[in-house]
Every structure is written in structure tokens, then in C-alpha cells.
């Protein structure tokens, strides 16, 4: 084995990047790298980047400016850029920042060991191809170390939907689903290493259609039903979904599968049909509300979360009011809302833009409503008994912290041997962004 070197990865963006960062660390493990959580003592620093909004992308250049300083005193330090900014503007990064040694797009992580060897011998390396081979087939198998109780598992990647505002179809490429057997193997392996909760990931995870062991295409519902039978796997979640791909069987699975948690992230972006059409979402507000009603019929206690964009080109006050009205109708337990951000190369960037002040004002008004809904739903948990998967020590001594079925953060005074267990907890108070609870009875009873 080569000399041990230290690798520091900083992850931006969505959960898929979190998953990819773990895989990159494993891929470089074979080249003698071990993970460190400090940039100062690293031999290689990788930024796993996000291109979704302008701010996210600009952050990378300022971060690279800082890293360049580190390199002045340590000429052996290698700096790499991965992820969606790498994919979108790899050559530009190389040009703007000579301190960068390596740029690797999200579909080429399996080529990292070779690229690392190349830069060690003094060159620079850039790979932003969409290679024909599947990166998942080539990534090093995981070291069999124990893991925390909750893990991500990418089952689908890429997007064919081309919403008019979004870079993902360009940075992640076309939709690809991993075969069922590989997903199940990875899930079983995670469970064997202490994982109790798996979140299935995909840019459009509910468009999953992987090759099944029977030679047929399996949808997400069938995959979830199979995972529901994996002994020791207590919880299944999936994200992110598109409203047009919420098929009957998937909705039904929310009523049938004990391990499938009552939480669904289903972005709608806007409540105005005019804006939805301009966004190329291919559904109306009424279509979305119908899907929500059907999911709630299958699983009445499901908590819905969503994403919204305000100030999309052409959005009027009336359109914005339609968004507020939709939010009132749905009642969100959790939400992410953003000002529209112009992305180079996407159709909406070419259109007449809404004033920044107007965007800011709408964002504040939308967020006030969403926060009020979130707080009400969270406060309504007080007095109820909920199941909590304890994930880590809490902030206070003697506390553990975990997530409820509805993905609320819960803090409880509890012994550390409950880490990794799902335990009933009575909620006694709602704090700002979390709940406080107490153990009830014996967890094994």
C-alpha cells in the first residue's frame, strides 16, 4: 500500500453530493488516502460543488481563492474540484484558478485514482465526460466499517425533465437507474454495518426504473416493497420526487409498507398555472393538489415538504398570490424556498427578469407563511408519542438526538446504548427547530 495521505472533502449542495463524497473518499482510499476533517493538515482538498444557484457557484471561486493561500506554504498540497460546478464550467475553473490541480465531473469519480496519479507526477487533470461505463460499477467496494444509523443510497441519477430554470439536466446528464440487485446488495451491506434508515436518492427518484432480477423494469414502488422486507432495515425514505411521477403503486406503498416513513418531499415550485407552464413543469396546481390528496388518502398522517421558487421571469403579484393560496391549501411541514437565480445555458435565463427587490419581498412573505405552517405542525406534536431513531449524542450532556418518523429533530435524555435504536418517545416541548422528548417505558417492550 502507498504511503498514507490525508484527504479533506468539503461538500456543498444536495444529498447526492453527500453520497458522492463518501464514494470519492472510498475510491481514493485505494491510493492511500484517509479522510481528515481539517483542511490544514490535508494532502489533498476536494470541493464537491453545487451549481444550482448563482451564489452556490460563486462561493466556490472565493473558497478556491482561500485555498490558494494554503498552497503557498505547502507546494505539495493538491486541490481538486468535483460536482456540478466542475461539470458545468470545468475548463473555466482551470483557467481562473491555476492553483486547481484536478477537475472531475459527477459521472467520472471512478477515474479519480488515475487522475490522482497523474497530478502527483506534476500535471493537471480534467475529466467532465459522461462516460459510457457506469461509475457505480467501478467505484471501489466499501471498507466494511461500522456506520451511523442513517445512510443515503443513490438509486437514480440525472434528469430528463428540463425545467426552464434548472441546471441539473446539464450537470448530471440523462436519467439513469441502477439495477435492483445492486441496490439491494448495497442496502443489505449497509444494514449489516449498523444502518437502520436508508434514504434512496435520485434527482427524480420516483422516475426510478431499474433492471429487476426477473429481467423486467422495476419502478420505485417495487424496489421499496422489496426493501421493506430486508430484516433490520427499520426505515425507508426517498428524495427528490417529481409530481408527475407519483404513480398509483408508489402512492399505495405509502399505505402498505411499514418501513416507508410518513414524509414526502414533493416540490411544486409555484402555485400559478401560467408560471408552471413557463417553467416547463408539465403539471398544473390542481394536478399537484390531486396527487397530494391521493397520498393523504393512502397515508393520512404523511408530512409534506416542498420547494418553491419566487420571482421566476414573468411572475406577477397575482401569480405569487396563487403560490400563497396553494401553500394554504397544502399545509407544509417543511419547505425550502428560493429567489429565482439566472443560470447560464437554461431557457429562463434569456427572459426578462423580475426586479431583485420584488423577489426579496415575495421570498419574505412566502417564508413567513411557510414558517408559520411548519411551527404549527411541529407544535402539534407536543403531547404525542413518536418513534425516534437515535443518531448521535445531543448538545447537552446525557442527551441523545435523533429523528422522528416525520423527520423532526428530537432531543431526549437517554443512555448511549440507545444509539442506533428506534424508540418511542413522548414529546414534551417544541423548541425553535426541534422537539424535546422523554423516554417512555422499555424500548424492547
Q: Which three cell numbers stand for residue 329?
A: 391549501
Minimum distance of ligand F3S from residue 106's CB (angstroms): 7
**Binding partner at 171 among ligand SAH, ligand F3S, ligand SF4, none, C-beta below 5 to 8 Å by kind:** ligand F3S
- Report H helices in 273-421: 273-278, 285-298, 317-330, 356-379
407: left (phi over 0), alpha (psi -120 to 50) or beta: left
Does residue 343 bind ligand SAH (CB under 6 A)? Answer: yes
Packing angle, helices 356-379 and 317-330, rounded to 10: 10
Q: Give me the DSSP letters along 14-62.
A: SHHHHHHHHHHHHHHHTTTEEE-S-GGG-SEEEEEE--SSHHHHHHHHH
CB 12 within 8 A of CB 49: yes
Of the residues 17, 31, 334, 404, which one makes contact with ligand F3S according to CB under 6 A: 17
Of the residues 309, 322, 377, 389, which one makes contact with ligand SAH according to CB under 6 A: 309
Considering only residues 34 to 53 of the shown chain, the ones binding ligand F3S according to CB under 6 A are 50-52
- Give 342's DSSP letter: -
Give the number of other CB atoms < 10 A from CB of residue 167. 24
**Binding partner at 338 among ligand F3S, ligand SF4, ligand SAH, none, C-beta below 5 to 8 Å by kind:** ligand SAH
Q: Which position has the grid cell 458545468?
A: 88
Does residue 208 bind ligand SAH (CB under 6 A)? Answer: no
Of the residues 269, 272, 401, 404, which one makes contact with ligand SAH according to CB under 6 A: 269
CB 151 within 8 A of CB 197: yes
Minimum distance of ligand F3S from residue 156's CB (angstroms): 12
Instruction: Single out the segment in contact with ligand F3S by CB under 6 A; choices: 12-20, 23-31, 269-277, 384-392.
Output: 12-20
Instruction: Single out the segment in contact with ligand F3S by CB under 6 A; choices: 2-10, 14-22, 136-144, 288-296.
Output: 14-22
Minimum distance of ligand F3S from residue 88's CB (angstroms): 8
Minimum distance of ligand F3S from residue 129's CB (angstroms): 17
Q: Which position has the grid cell 488516502?
A: 33
Instruction: Single out the segment in contact with ligand F3S by CB under 6 A; choices: 96-104, 164-172, 273-281, 340-348.
Output: 164-172
CB 33 within 8 A of CB 21: no
**Interface residue list for ligand F3S (CB under 6 A):** 13-14, 16-17, 50-52, 83-84, 167-168, 171-172
Amino acid at each position: 500500500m502507498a504511503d498514507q495521505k490525508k484527504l479533506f472533502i468539503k461538500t456543498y449542495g444536495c444529498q447526492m453530493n453527500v453520497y458522492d463524497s463518501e464514494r470519492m473518499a472510498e475510491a481514493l482510499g485505494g491510493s492511500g488516502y484517509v479522510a481528515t476533517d481539517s483542511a490544514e493538515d490535508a494532502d489533498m482538498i476536494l470541493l464537491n460543488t453545487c451549481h444550482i444557484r448563482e451564489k452556490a457557484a460563486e462561493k466556490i471561486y472565493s473558497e478556491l481563492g482561500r485555498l490558494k493561500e494554503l498552497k503557498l506554504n505547502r507546494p505539495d498540497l493538491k486541490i481538486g474540484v468535483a460536482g456540478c460546478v466542475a461539470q458545468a464550467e470545468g475548463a473555466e475553473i482551470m483557467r481562473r484558478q491555476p492553483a486547481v490541480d484536478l477537475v472531475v465531473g459527477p459521472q467520472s469519480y471512478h477515474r479519480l485514482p488515475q487522475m490522482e496519479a497523474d497530478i502527483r507526477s506534476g500535471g493537471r487533470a480534467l475529466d467532465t465526460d459522461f462516460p459510457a461505463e457506469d461509475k457505480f460499477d467501478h467505484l471501489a467496494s466499501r471498507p466494511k466499517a461500522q456506520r451511523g444509523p442513517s445512510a443515503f443510497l443513490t438509486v437514480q441519477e440525472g434528469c430528463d425533465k428540463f425545467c426552464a430554470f434548472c441546471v441539473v439536466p446539464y450537470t448530471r446528464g440523462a436519467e439513469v437507474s441502477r439495477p435492483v440487485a445492486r441496490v439491494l446488495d448495497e442496502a443489505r451491506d449497509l444494514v449489516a454495518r449498523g444502518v437502520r434508515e436508508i434514504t434512496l436518492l435520485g434527482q427524480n427518484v420516483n422516475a426510478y426504473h431499474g433492471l429487476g432480477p426477473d429481467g423486467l423494469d422495476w419502478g420505485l414502488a417495487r424496489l421499496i416493497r422489496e426493501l421493506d422486507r430486508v430484516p433490520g432495515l427499520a426505515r425507508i425514505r426517498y428524495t427528490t420526487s417529481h409530481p408527475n411521477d407519483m404513480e398509483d403503486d408508489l402512492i399505495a406503498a405509502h399505505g402498505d409498507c411499514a418501513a416507508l416513513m410518513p414524509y414526502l418531499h414533493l416540490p411544486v415550485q409555484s402555485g400559478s398555472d401560467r408560471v408552471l407552464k413557463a417553467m416547463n413543469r408539465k403539471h398544473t396546481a390542481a394536478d399537484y393538489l390531486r396527487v397530494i390528496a391521493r397520498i393523504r388518502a393512502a397515508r393520512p398522517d404523511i408530512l409534506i415538504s416542498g420547494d418553491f421558487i419566487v420571482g421566476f421571469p414573468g411572475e406577477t403579484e397575482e401569480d405569487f398570490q396563487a403560490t400563497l393560496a396553494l401553500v394554504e391549501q397544502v399545509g407544509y411541514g417543511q419547505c425550502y424556498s428560493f429567489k429565482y437565480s439566472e443560470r447560464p445555458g437554461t431557457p429562463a435565463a434569456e427572459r426578462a427578469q423580475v426586479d431583485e427587490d420584488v423577489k426579496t419581498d415575495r421570498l419574505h412573505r412566502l417564508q413567513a407563511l411557510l414558517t408559520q405552517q411548519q411551527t404549527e405542525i411541529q407544535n402539534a406534536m407536543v403531547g404525542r408519542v413518536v418513534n425516534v431513531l437515535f443518531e448521535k449524542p445531543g448538545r447537552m450532556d446525557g442527551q441523545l438526538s435523533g429523528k422522528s418518523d416525520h423527520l423532526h429533530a428530537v432531543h431526549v435524555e437517554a443512555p448511549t446504548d440507545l444509539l442506533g435504536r428506534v424508540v418511542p418517545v413522548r414529546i414534551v416541548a417544541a423548541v425553535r427547530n426541534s422537539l424535546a422528548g422523554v423516554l417512555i417505558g422499555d424500548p424492547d417492550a
